[in-house]
C-alpha cells in the first residue's frame, strides 16, 4: 500500500471517542449508482455540493490530526488538515457518505469498532424496552376489544366534571393554604427574630446571674469571715470581762530584798547597785498606778498633784508652783539636794490620802503597813523605815520602798474588786 493510500485511510476520527480510525478498503469501491445517490444534495433545497471547495459544507466532518501516531501496532502518517488544497474525489465521497449517515440518524459518523459496538448494545436495550412496551400496549388493546360493555361516556363525562370541580375546589384550597403558609412563614420569621432577641437576653441574664452569684459567694465568704471574727471578738471580750486592767497593766511583786513593779526594781543595795534609770522607771510606773487608782475612785489629792511622766515623773506642790522630782541622777547620798526626798515624802502623803479615802468607803479595809510623816512602820516588829535617802542606809530605804509597793498592791486589789464589772 502506498503512502498516499495510507493517508486516505486515516484521514477521519471517531465521532465518539475522537480517536483516528482506519477505514475499510471496501469504501474505496463505490459503484456508480451509489455515487449518483451521493451526488444528490444532503438537505432538500440546498444548493451546495461537494464540488465546491468550501470545506465547511461537511457538517459532521472532523479534520484529521496533524500528528504521527500508531494504532494497534499499525504504522501510518496523518495528513495535514487539508484546508489549503483540494481534497481528492474519493475523500469527498467518503466524507459525504458519513455526513449523510449522520444527518439521517442521531449518531454522528464515522465510528470506531469499539464505539460502534457500545452504541449497538445501547440500541439493543432500547429496542428490548420498546418491544416490551409494544407488547403491553397490544395486550391492553386486545383486552379493550374483548370487553362486551362499552364505556359509559355520559357517566365518565359527569365524573370528569366532578373531578374538574374538585380540582377547582382543591386549587382554591391550595391558594388558601399557600396564603396560610405565607402567613405562617412570616409568623415563623417573627418568632425567629423574637427567639434571637430572647437568646441575647438569656445570654445577658446568665452573665448577670454569674456576676451576682459570684458576688453572693464573696459576700457569703465575707459574712462567714465576719462571723468568725465576731465569735473570736466575743471570746476575747468574755476573757477581758474577767480580766482587770490594773492587774494586767501593773504587776507588783518582789525580787529578793527589792520590791518590783512591772519587773523594775525600786531601791539600791551595796551588794546590788541598781542603775538609776531602772529606779526612775520604777518610780514612773508607781506614780502612774497611784494616779490611775485615785482617778478611778474620784479622789483629788490635797496639797499635792502627782504627775506621771515616765522616768521623769514628779510631784507638783499646789499653791507654791514648785515641782519635786521623783527621779535621781547620781550617787546615793545628796545632802545638798533634798528635793528627791521631799518628792518621795509627798508621794507617801498622797498614798496615805488614798488609804483614808478607801477606809471611808470600806471600814474593813486595812493596809499591811502603817504610814506617817515619811515613814513606814512594820507592825510585826514595830520598826519604822524612812522613805528618805538623807541620814538613811540603802537597806532601810530599799525596805521602806518595798513596804510602800506592798501597800500600793493592796490598794490595787481593793479597787479591782470594787470595779470588777466596769
Counting residues of the chain whose pLDDT is more than 90, the rounded percentage is 32
Report pLDDT for 20: 83
Q: How many residues does the chain have?
A: 422
Report pLDDT for 381: 86
Burial 348-386 (b: 16+ CB within 10 A, else e): bbbbbbbbebbeeeeeeeebebbbeebbbbeeeeeebbb
**Residues 281, 7: Cα–Cα separation, whole Å:** 140
**Residues 121, 369: Cα–Cα separation, whole Å:** 146
Give residue-wise pLDDT tens across range 157-188.
899 999 999 999 999 999 999 999 999 999 99
What's the grid cell of residue 69? Answer: 501516531
- Residue 117 in any domain: the answer is no
- Residue 229 in any domain: the answer is no
Give residue-wise pLDDT tens across range 261-294.
888 998 888 888 888 889 999 999 999 999 998 9
CB 48 within 8 A of CB 41: yes
Report pLDDT for 205: 94
Q: pLDDT-based confidence at 239, cuts 50/70/90?
A: confident
Lowest mean per-residue pLDDT among 16-20, 89-93, 258-262, 357-361: 89-93
Q: How far is CA 179 from the centre of its chain?
A: 49
- Residue 189 in any domain: the answer is no
Angle at 235 between CA 234 and CA 238, to 5 degrees: 85
Q: pLDDT-based confidence at 405, cuts 50/70/90?
A: very high
- Residue 91 in any domain: the answer is yes
Whether residue 78 has pLDDT greater than 70: no
Lowest mean per-residue pLDDT among 185-189, 223-227, 235-239: 235-239
Whether residue 88 has pLDDT greater than 50: yes
- Residue 197 in any domain: the answer is no
- Residue 190 in any domain: the answer is no
- Residue 409 in any domain: the answer is yes
Whether residue 149 has pLDDT greater than 70: no
What's the grid cell of residue 256? Answer: 529578793
Report pLDDT for 35: 58
**Residues 365, 294: Cα–Cα separation, whole Å:** 16
**Residues 321, 328: Cα–Cα separation, whole Å:** 21
DSSP assignment of 90-106 = HHHHHHHHHHHHHHTSS
Domain limits for position 377: 247-418
Instruction: Say which residues have a Cβ less than 8 Å from residue 237's Cβ, sequence separation at least 6.
Output: none
CB 46 within 8 A of CB 35: no
**Mean pLDDT within 217-227:** 94
Lowest mean per-residue pLDDT among 11-15, 153-157, 216-220: 11-15
What's the grid cell of residue 380? Answer: 510585826
Report pLDDT for 114: 86
Report pLDDT for 225: 94
Q: How far is CA 290 from CA 77, 112, 151, in A?
A: 141, 138, 142
Q: pLDDT-based confidence at 47, cuts 50/70/90?
A: very low
Q: pLDDT-based confidence at 70, cuts 50/70/90?
A: very low
Q: Where does a domain end: 91, 111, 131?
A: 111
Q: Where does a domain end: 111, 133, 157?
A: 111
Whether residue 422 has pLDDT greater than 70: no
Counting residues of the chain whose pLDDT is more than 70, the rounded percentage is 76
What's the grid cell of residue 179? Answer: 396564603
Please name which of 88, 77, 74 lies closest in space to residue 28, comparing C-alpha atoms: 88
pTM of the model: 0.45
Whether residue 208 has pLDDT greater than 80: yes
Q: Where does a domain end: 83, 111, 139?
A: 111
Please name which of 259, 312, 254 lies closest in space to residue 287, comparing C-alpha atoms: 312
**Residues 370, 319: Cα–Cα separation, whole Å:** 28
Instruction: Say which residues have a Cβ less than 8 Å from residue 16's Cβ, sequence separation at least 6.
Output: 108, 111, 112, 115, 118, 119
- Residue 165 in any domain: the answer is no
Report pLDDT for 332: 54
Q: How far is CA 291 from CA 157, 196, 247, 315, in A?
A: 135, 81, 15, 11
Q: pLDDT-based confidence at 250, cuts 50/70/90?
A: confident
Report the CATH number that the domain containing residue 344 is assigned in CATH: 1.10.418.40
Whether residue 54 has pLDDT greater than 60: no
CB 275 within 8 A of CB 317: no
Tell me the pairing of strands 12-13 and 68-71: unpaired
**Mean pLDDT within 385-393:** 86
Report pLDDT for 11: 63
**Residues 97, 39: Cα–Cα separation, whole Å:** 10
CB 82 within 8 A of CB 63: yes
Domain count within the chain = 2
Amino acid at each position: 500500500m502506498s503512502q498516499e493510500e495510507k493517508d486516505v485511510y486515516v484521514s477521519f476520527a471517531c465521532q465518539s471517542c475522537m480517536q483516528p480510525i482506519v477505514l475499510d478498503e471496501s469504501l474505496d469501491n463505490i459503484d456508480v449508482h451509489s455515487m449518483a445517490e451521493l451526488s444528490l444534495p444532503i438537505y432538500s433545497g440546498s444548493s451546495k455540493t461537494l464540488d465546491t471547495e468550501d470545506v465547511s459544507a461537511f457538517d459532521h466532518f472532523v479534520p484529521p490530526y496533524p500528528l504521527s501516531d500508531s494504532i494497534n501496532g499499525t504504522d501510518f502518517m496523518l495528513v495535514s488538515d487539508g484546508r489549503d488544497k483540494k481534497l481528492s474525489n474519493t475523500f469527498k465521497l467518503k466524507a459525504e457518505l458519513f455526513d449523510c449517515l449522520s444527518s439521517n440518524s442521531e449518531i454522528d459518523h464515522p465510528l470506531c469498532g469499539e464505539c460502534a459496538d457500545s452504541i449497538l448494545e445501547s440500541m439493543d436495550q432500547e429496542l428490548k424496552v420498546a418491544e416490551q412496551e409494544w407488547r403491553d400496549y397490544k395486550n391492553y388493546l386486545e383486552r379493550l376489544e374483548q370487553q362486551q360493555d362499552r364505556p359509559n361516556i355520559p357517566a365518565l363525562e359527569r365524573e370528569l366534571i366532578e373531578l374538574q370541580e374538585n380540582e377547582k375546589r382543591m386549587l382554591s384550597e391550595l391558594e388558601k393554604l399557600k396564603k396560610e403558609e405565607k402567613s405562617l412563614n412570616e409568623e415563623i420569621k417573627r418568632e425567629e427574630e423574637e427567639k434571637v432577641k430572647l437568646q441575647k437576653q438569656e445570654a445577658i441574664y446568665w452573665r448577670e446571674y454569674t456576676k451576682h452569684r459570684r458576688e453572693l459567694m464573696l459576700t457569703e465568704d465575707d459574712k462567714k469571715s465576719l462571723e468568725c471574727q465576731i465569735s473570736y471578738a466575743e471570746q476575747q471580750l468574755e476573757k477581758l470581762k474577767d480580766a482587770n486592767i490594773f492587774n494586767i497593766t501593773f504587776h507588783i511583786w518582789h525580787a529578793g530584798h527589792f520590791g518590783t513593779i512591772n519587773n523594775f526594781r525600786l531601791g539600791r543595795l551595796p551588794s546590788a547597785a541598781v542603775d538609776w534609770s531602772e529606779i526612775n522607771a520604777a518610780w514612773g510606773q508607781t506614780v502612774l498606778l497611784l494616779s490611775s487608782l485615785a482617778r478611778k475612785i474620784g479622789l483629788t489629792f490635797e496639797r499635792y498633784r502627782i504627775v506621771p511622766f515616765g522616768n521623769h515623773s514628779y510631784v507638783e506642790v499646789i499653791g507654791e508652783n514648785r515641782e519635786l522630782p521623783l527621779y535621781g541622777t547620781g550617787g546615793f547620798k545628796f545632802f545638798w539636794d533634798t528635793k528627791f526626798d521631799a518628792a518621795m515624802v509627798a508621794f507617801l502623803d498622797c498614798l496615805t490620802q488614798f488609804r483614808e479615802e478607801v477606809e471611808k468607803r470600806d471600814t474593813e479595809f486595812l493596809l499591811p503597813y502603817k504610814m506617817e510623816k515619811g515613814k513606814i512602820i512594820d507592825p510585826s516588829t514595830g520598826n519604822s523605815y524612812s522613805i528618805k535617802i538623807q541620814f538613811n542606809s540603802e537597806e532601810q530605804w530599799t525596805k521602806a520602798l518595798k513596804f510602800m509597793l506592798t501597800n500600793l498592791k493592796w490598794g490595787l486589789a481593793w479597787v479591782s474588786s470594787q470595779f470588777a464589772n466596769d
